[in-house]
Amino acid sequence: MAMQGDILSWPNRFAHLARQSSDERLRAFYTAGVQAPDTPVSQAQFVALDFETTGLNYETDDIVSVGLVPFDARRAYCRDARHWILKPSTPLHEESVVVHQITHSQVSEAPDLDAILEELLACLAGKVIVVHYRHIERPFFNQALMQRLGEGIEFPLIDTMALEHRIETNRLTLWQRIKRQPIPSIRLADSRKRYGLPYYVAHHALSDALATAELFQAQLQHHYTQHTDIKSLWM
């Protein structure tokens, strides 16, 4: 349990940011707070989040679509899912179009992130954000807001890829570790396969978000108990 006054704990950090932030929407997001770090996973509210981007460099690339699916340990709720296509601040590269199949004409009619930010943050507020591969959503989101508001964003998140890495590493015997035997692929589709989850077409923000939510549910059932607390999973 995080100590009272622990400046590094997420609840305290959110309280601090709620006071500091100059953007009303961000203030609302921080004011909603984070779930108590010792909340058991069976009680926690999650939201799976996925971005498609124009490229992999958060300093030069931008977000083209956002998908999110709220869920808990039992169910993922499609009716509360959201999906937006956005107009990025940097042009679409041909290579990225091949990946996410979002076309120039689609983005030319799409809104800027700023226009949907209030709704997006409302969907995320008070929930534990779950992503697969943490080096996309958090830095891209932070950078995109920096650009637009002159202020970034911080939040705890659970990374199903990191969890999978931990799980697969723990499976290795000492000898295998000494031999540096590689662990199996922990990419989203490959990880899902190990849990009997079906193949979903990748690189659609909404599908990937749902795929991530399902993967996390599976990981919880196989490797954790309902008493596991969220602070042991988030980073």
Nearest to other proteins of 75, 177 (CB atom): 75
Answer whether 205's CB lies under 8 Å from 65's CB: yes
Q: How many CB atoms lie within 10 A of CB 36?
A: 16
Q: How far is the CB of 79 from other proteins (least distance, A)?
A: 5
Residues that bind other proteins (CB under 8 A): 71, 74-79, 81-83, 195-198, 200-201, 204, 206-207, 210, 213-214, 217-218, 221-222
Nearest to other proteins of 133, 200 (CB atom): 200
Where does residue 25 rank: exposed (0-12), middle (13-18), buried (19+ CB within 10 A)?
middle
Nearest to other proteins of 81, 92 (CB atom): 81
Nearest to other proteins of 79, 180 (CB atom): 79
Q: How far is the CB of 172 from other proteins (least distance, A)?
A: 22
Q: How far is the CB of 124 from other proteins (least distance, A)?
A: 16
Q: How many CB atoms lie within 10 A of CB 155?
A: 23
Q: How many CB atoms lie within 10 A of CB 28?
A: 15
Q: How far is the CB of 30 from other proteins (least distance, A)?
A: 27
Could you give the CA distance from residue 141 to residue 152 in angstroms, rounded to a whole number? 8
Q: How far is the CB of 111 from other proteins (least distance, A)?
A: 12
Q: How far is the CB of 160 from other proteins (least distance, A)?
A: 13
Nearest to other proteins of 60, 225 (CB atom): 225
Could you give the CA distance from residue 126 to residue 136 in angstroms, rounded to a whole number? 21
Nearest to other proteins of 10, 224 (CB atom): 224
Could you give the CA distance from residue 95 to residue 151 in angstroms, rounded to a whole number? 30
Single out the residue of 202, 38, 51 nearest to residue 120, CA to CA.
51
Could you give the CA distance from residue 128 to residue 11 in angstroms, rounded to a whole number? 12
Could you give the CA distance from residue 59 to residue 230 in angstroms, rounded to a whole number? 30
